Amino acid sequence: MEAGNNAPAPSRISDNIPKSYVYSFVSSFGLTDAIWMLYLAHRGMSLLEIGLLESIFHLSSLVMEIPTGVVADRFGRRTSRILSRAVACSATLMMLASRDFPGFAFAFVLTALGYNLESGAGDALVYDSLVDLGREGEYMKVKGRQEIGFQSAHGLSLVAGGAVATFDYNLAYLLTAGTHLASLGLALGFSEPRAGRFSPCTKRPSLLGQVQESISIIRNNSTIFIYILFLETFSLFYTTLYFWFQTFLKSVGWLEWSIGLTLGASSAAAVLMATRAHRIEALAGRKAVVGSAPFLAIALFGLIAVPTGGSAIPAACAMVALSAIEGFLFVAFSDYINRLIPSENRATLLSFQAMVFSLMMIVFFPAMGALASAFGYRKAFAAVFAASVPVLLATRAWLLGDIRRLEGSN
């Protein structure tokens, strides 16, 4: 891929970076995040139907993740982001208009499509903008600042959504549709990076060819897959614990305000470490990060699983610390992965990364729920700990070996 004659000026590309901070906040501010299950129940959906709708979302996301990444690589990251916001708005309005299971199912498919169109394109747009500017070394800093927008919007929307829904569910969905329209307006203001663009005289590969080329890149550089496997399996274990931890705290007698305080502290810890990731990584280096992070994560998984009598405070403190590690690793490993990916295949491969997580989540998350129901939360948390040990240590060994080989060749 090459830049065409109509490539945007560097100043316009540079504007993509501050715009991405605002976009991260607005696009993540959804008043329906905390109430969608209550809304579906209000509209007459049974618990079984709600569970099926969640499965439809994950299956749709799994199927559409790679194709939408290809769309972003072939037709532009900006184009994919614009489509994402338009589809997300349509999905929200469909949720309002639906009265039966098929209607809600279609809305969930649209929701997944909107998510997929953004998942690979968004990071690709920002990273390739930095490539254009010769500033890709700043990606960790930029990613950390974006995480401030995401986490802040998520926390505020949980509170605001609950408050608005107390009076009117429909109003919460209408306001969410409005935020999607606002983020659509912001998406229109981005400029397409030159990195990864096809020149007018270059023949674009077919959709299948784009996928085949991306698979070939992973096959020829297995380190990309190992980084993805490490980050996404860690995210799988963390996310599973995070969601089930809320009901665990409720089961041991914690009140809603104390649960909310714990989750708020977890979000704050994640933001703090995400914004400091570039400095910590610069001081410690990649070898130290890869070498120590798995042991820290495993230790915290174990602490959450260990019974501590009648007190859940040690486990809550471990969850806050685990969230801090998640915030750091999300930023640092995103940088490591992007450095290994060619610009012309970036969105497709980042979509593959998201697909790995969805595929594992579909199986692992309900399995842990069933285990918690049958044997209790601590046994389920122990299973997460047991699963994390071989995967994180094996990927750690692979990545450290790869780092040593690179140092030896230099």
Q: What is the pLDDT of residue 5?
A: 45
> Is 218-409 in CATH node 1.20.1250.20?
yes
The whole-number pLDDT of residue 95 equals: 95
In angstroms, rounded to a whole number, what is the distance separating the alpha carbons of residues 242 and 265?
13
Q: Where are the domains of the chain?
A: 10-204, 218-409
Cα separation, 164 vs 31, whole angstroms: 8
Measured from the Cβ of residue 366, the count of other Cβ atoms closer than 10 Å reads 15
User: Whole-model pTM?
Assistant: 0.73
* DSSP for residue 196: T
**How many angstroms separate the CA atoms of 329 and 186, rounded?**
28
pLDDT digits (tens, 9 = 90+) for 312-328: 889 999 999 999 999 99
pLDDT of residue 84: 95
Q: CB atoms < 10 A from the CB of 137, how many?
A: 12
Coil, strand or helix at 346: helix
Do the domains spanning 10-204 and 218-409 agree at the CATH topology level?
A: yes
pLDDT score for 240: 84
User: 218: helix, coil or strand?
Assistant: helix
> Mean pLDDT per segment of 10 residues, for the chain of length 410 residues?
52 90 92 79 81 82 83 87 96 94 95 90 89 89 87 78 81 94 95 69 53 72 88 91 79 75 81 89 92 95 83 90 92 90 79 81 80 86 94 94 76
How confident is the model over 238-294, as pLDDT tens digits?
988 887 887 788 788 877 677 777 877 888 888 889 888 989 999 999 999 999 999
CB 39 within 8 A of CB 214: no
Homologous superfamily, domain 10-204: MFS general substrate transporter like domains (1.20.1250.20)
Query: Is 395 in contact with 226 (CB distance < 8 Å)?
Result: yes
Three-state secondary-structure class, residue 44: coil
- End-to-end, the C-alpha distance of the chain in Å comes to 29
Question: Which tokens go with 31?
Answer: 């008043």
Euclidean distance between CA atoms 65 and 27, whole angstroms: 19
